[in-house]
A and B are shown apart, each in its own frame.
Chain A
Amino acid sequence: MAPTQFIARFAFFLVALAMLIAAFNIVIDPYLVFDAPRISGLNDRKPSAQGNDRKMKQYDAVRRAAHTLVLGSSRIEIGFNPQSGSWPAQDQPVYNLGLAGSDPKNDVHYLRHVLASQMPDNLPKSLIIGLDFESFLFHPSPVGVQEEDPTDVSSVGLNVLANGQENPHRTLQTVKDFVASTLSLDAVLDSFSTIFYSQNRTGVTLDEHGWMNESVFDEASRANGVAALFLQKNTETVYQYGSIQLNLRQAADGSLSDLDAIYELISIAESIDANVIFFVQPAHVDRWEIFDRLGYWDDIERWKTEIVKLVDGEKNRGAQVELWDFASYEHFVQEALPSDSDLDSNLSWFWEPAHYRTALGDIMIAQMREVNSPIRFGVKLTRDNLSEWLLKIRTDRDKYRSTNPEEVARITRVLCSASHCSP
């Protein structure tokens, strides 16, 4: 073959293959960028959601006209199923805008993004927002208090910048996302992965309502056993929060200075005439025990107190807002772990210390939406019942310790293994 002929064939194959790959990725749509129809057994599951949920929901959430939006971290994303029977009919449709690692600032950003592209008659009527104590902790060094760049490139694809202004980079970023979703190796591999898991009906997926199913934990639990998952998370927690004592940021008058995002969320809700329910996320007792042993108990109580003050103040001003607290020592969070070698048993309410199962999420939904249910969990927190509630948690904690010495010893071993033996 003559060299010029070879070059022509090379160019032809190159263009043909590129077009084929682009078409394939658009049809399979692993990142929900193109809103391609979900076809059962072909692309109805979206395993790429793990690690790409922000990008995917950036495109997906604006297409859904949700009556109720749920916001928060991965605990929400996995633990709150929008199609759960616990939701009252008037709340439907529900969209889960929970995102791995999200905090209230990020919630504000994504909420603005969604609202910016919704028609006035499609705006949500309820916002349910999970709060994690951990996301209010900061590294004490100056690095930790640097102001966020409102033009942060990690969110350049959203309709608005972090400061609420229109995002001038949006169009360019959309083009980049389209190219990356059609002509990139990651997209090809994720498309194949989408087909594989759609055919096998297994693995992680993000459904049409933004809920990430529980496969990631289910599979890890079956492979490692629940005890191993707890040990892994507990060890990680000790390293993460024990290596350096993290702080709640404080303003000059002694109040917490990182509650602006909560005010903003309430203000946005008011602007669209929606009600807001904040709730403090539950965790397995292991996590609260570790936090206490690492010296965070007072911070947790102070943080709750400040939020109660804020919410009560806003309510008195006329805002439709309430606060629930599930961060307690109630029996749901005290479930004992199976043995290390037991790979079959699961806990009823938790996958690991931080992430609860949808079963517990359903109970929380029922409590907060005041569905008639015989089960009681958590409390609607106000200034009036705060002290009593905090005291109850302390009492439950002490009782737990006295009746579960083996569990306490297990936590001590975890702390000691990471050089944090408490006195």
Chain B
Amino acid sequence: MAFYGIWVPFNLIIIMLSIVTNYIIATKIRDCIASDRPNEKLATVLLTFGITANLLFLGYFKYMNFFVENMNEIFGLDLGISKVLLPLGISFITFQKIGFLIDVRARNVKQFTLDDFFVFVFFFPQLIAGPIVHYREMMPQFDQLKTRLNSADFVVGISLFSLGLFKKVILADGIVPYVSPGFTAAANGVPVTFFAAWTSALAFSFQIYFDFSGYTDMALGLARMFGIKLPMNFNSPFKASSIIEFWSRWHITLTRFLTDYLYTPMVMKLTRSRMRSGRPVMGRKAPTVTAFLVLVFWPMMLTMLLSGLWHGAGFTYILWGGMHGALLVINHAWREWRPKTWDRVTYDRVMTPIGFFITFFLVVFTMVVFRAGSVDEAVGIYRGMLGFNGASIPVAVLNELGVAKDVLLLFGVTPDISSGNYFVFSSLWICGLLFVALCAPNSMEIMRRFEPALYFDANVDHGHQLRFLASRRNTFVFMPCNRWAFCIALIFLIGVLGLSGPSEFLYWQF
């Protein structure tokens, strides 16, 4: 609580009120369903009330100004914009409270006290930006804790934390200087050329990738220092070979929340409704177009649009959610209707690399709208990425390229007067981070012997793209020894030394 309230104490009061309200609703729901003659209807009404209250609470703080601005714009009104500060981590906290109420209603959580509920919400390592945890997976761990600090857990925790700190401070913050120029130019209406647009798009993709990956490791590590294992939340998403797989690796607990509490209930309800009326549903055979539209397209689009809106109050976030929804729908459609002429092994051998390139390209492409301050700004970058503004390379770089210069000029690449150093260093950063994201073992794999996160299965191959690294995988597996003590101390120190510059977690704003 002190951690949460230290920046803006008023936020603590707001969150406390919300917690107490949720606790009262949860006890009422429990009372309704715990008696000999359970009142299921009232419990559902209470749950609906609780979810609505939580969404309104989130809506007021996060979306009120967005709503007012658009009302003013559309209807020419002059409604005042409030100056309410967004309480830290409100989106994550709200989702956890909603999840808790649903779990109580579904009888997955039966025993809880106000103290427990406070601990659950205010457990500081994951308070601000996740992972989004379930009450039922957290509280048993708190119950089993014998001491506040256990040296074995501390070793795993500090190692994970150090890896995360390094990723955040060195990798994510390191590429930041190469993100803004393209977006700023696009925002000012300056045409962004091909390489500049791709540099900004790729740089931001890697910034948010390592920012979130680093934050997640730090949260997991910090929790583990206190003996608590948080669920796995990030698993090398750029190694995904389909957009469905991407969402099973990126922000895993958000995907789980949306799937469990929104997508699946919606699909189940629609499926039952169609079954009752004898209409076709999704099954083993290829579905009908109507069944697909009703049971996949509609729930998926709605879920992802809401996912976009959850990330931020802006049309760019909604558009981002819509793009991912559409991509997921296309991915599901491909799975249903793709030609089944190849056997599984041949299919995987051919399609996995193709799927990887397509997925990577699309994820980077959609990241543009996620970063852009407006749709126009995103369109400016897209025009550059698609070559509508031509391609140019700094004259200083072009002059060093020898024969390649003539080839590039032949393809219409023109010299420009931008900084050659910027071009070279941005390219090196992007290539370096691409290598780390695709080829290096991730934190879970490095800590695989010590169960670094809930639901992490050390026996599953999490996918290395390069064989020579896969064959040396054990070299990168953590063991408590002098070598690793030195390595962890070094990366921790580098991370701390890197903190001298300005640094901010992107996911804190959600």
Contact = CB atoms under 8 A, between A and B. Distances in A.
Interface string A2-31: 111111011101100110010000000000
A318 to B, nearest CB: 49
A3 B155 contact: yes
Given A18-B493, A235-B417, A4 B500 contact: no
Chain A, interface size: which category?
20 to 34
A184 interface: yes
Nearest to B153: A3
Interface of A: 1-7, 9-11, 13-14, 17-18, 21, 180, 183-188, 220, 223-225, 228, 231-232, 235, 343
User: 9 nearest interchain CB pairs?
Assistant: A13-B489, A184-B500, A223-B396, A9-B485, A3-B151, A6-B480, A185-B497, A232-B417, A185-B498
B395 A228 contact: yes
B158 interface: yes
Contact of B490 (A4, A5, A13): A13
A13 B151 contact: no
Contacts of B486: 9, 13
Contacts of B154: 3, 7
Nearest to B415: A228
Interface residues of B, number: 31
A235 B417 CA distance: 10
Given A14-B489, A21-B493, A185-B500, A3 B480 contact: yes
B480 A224 contact: no
B410 interface: no
A193 B489 CA distance: 24
A10 B489 contact: yes
A186 B500 contact: yes
Chain A interface main SS type: helix
Contacts, number: 79
B84 interface: no
B191 to A, nearest CB: 12
Contacts of A10: 155, 158, 485, 488-489
B403 interface: no
Contacts of B485: 1, 6, 9-10, 13
Contacts of B155: 3, 6-7, 10
A335 B492 CA distance: 55
Interface in B480-510: 480-482, 484-486, 488-490, 492-494, 497-498, 500-501
A348 B396 CA distance: 22
B497 A21 contact: yes
6 contacts: A1-B485, A4-B151, A13-B490, A184-B497, A231-B417, A343-B399
B151 A224 contact: no
B414 to A, nearest CB: 12
A17 B396 contact: no
A87 B287 CA distance: 89
Contacts of B497: 21, 183-185, 187-188
Contacts of A232: 417
Nearest to B501: A186
A340 to B, nearest CB: 8
A31 to B, nearest CB: 12
Nearest to B488: A10
A235 B501 CA distance: 31
Given A7-B155, A186-B500, 18 more contacts: A1-B480, A1-B481, A2-B151, A3-B151, A6-B155, A6-B484, A6-B485, A10-B485, A13-B485, A13-B490, A17-B490, A21-B493, A185-B169, A185-B497, A223-B400, A224-B395, A224-B420, A343-B399
A56 to B, nearest CB: 16
A223 B399 contact: yes
Contacts of A21: 493, 497
A231 B396 CA distance: 14
B330 interface: no
B487 to A, nearest CB: 9
Contacts of B488: 10
B493 A14 contact: yes
B67 to A, nearest CB: 29
A225 B493 contact: no
Nearest to B170: A185
A5 B155 CA distance: 10
B106 interface: no
B152 interface: yes
B137 to A, nearest CB: 25
B151 A7 contact: yes
Nearest to A5: B480
Contacts of A18: 493
Which of A6, A21, A186, A235: most chain B CB closer than 10 A? A6
B399 A180 contact: no
A203 to B, nearest CB: 12
A51 to B, nearest CB: 12
A224 B400 CA distance: 10
Contact of B492 (A7, A14, A180): A14
A17 B491 CA distance: 11
A2 B151 CA distance: 9
A346 to B, nearest CB: 15
A224 B500 contact: no
Contacts of A13: 485-486, 489-490
B395 A225 contact: yes
Interface string B284-311: 0000000000000000000000000000
A343 B395 CA distance: 11
Contacts of A180: 500
Contacts of A224: 394-396, 399, 417, 420
A188 B495 CA distance: 13
Contacts of B395: 224-225, 228
A14 B485 CA distance: 9
Interface in B12-27: none
A5 B400 CA distance: 53
Contact of B494 (A2, A185, A220): A185
B484 to A, nearest CB: 8
Contacts of B500: 180, 184-186
A89 B479 CA distance: 68
A76 B490 CA distance: 42
Contacts of A343: 399
Contacts of A6: 155, 480-481, 484-485
A223 B479 CA distance: 49
A5 B482 CA distance: 9
Nearest to A18: B493
A191 B501 CA distance: 17
A17 B489 contact: yes
Contacts of B489: 10-11, 13-14, 17
Contacts of B169: 185
A342 to B, nearest CB: 11
Nearest to A176: B500
A276 B411 CA distance: 58
A328 to B, nearest CB: 28
Contacts of B400: 223
A343 B397 CA distance: 13
A188 B490 CA distance: 13
Nearest to A224: B396
Contacts of B492: 14
A17 B396 CA distance: 39
Nearest to A232: B417
A3 B152 contact: yes
A223 B417 contact: no
A75 to B, nearest CB: 20
Interface in B91-139: none
A1 B481 CA distance: 6
A224 B484 CA distance: 46
Contacts of A184: 497-498, 500
Contacts of B394: 224
A417 to B, nearest CB: 11
Interface string B153-164: 011001000000
A221 to B, nearest CB: 10
A47 to B, nearest CB: 13
Contacts of A11: 489
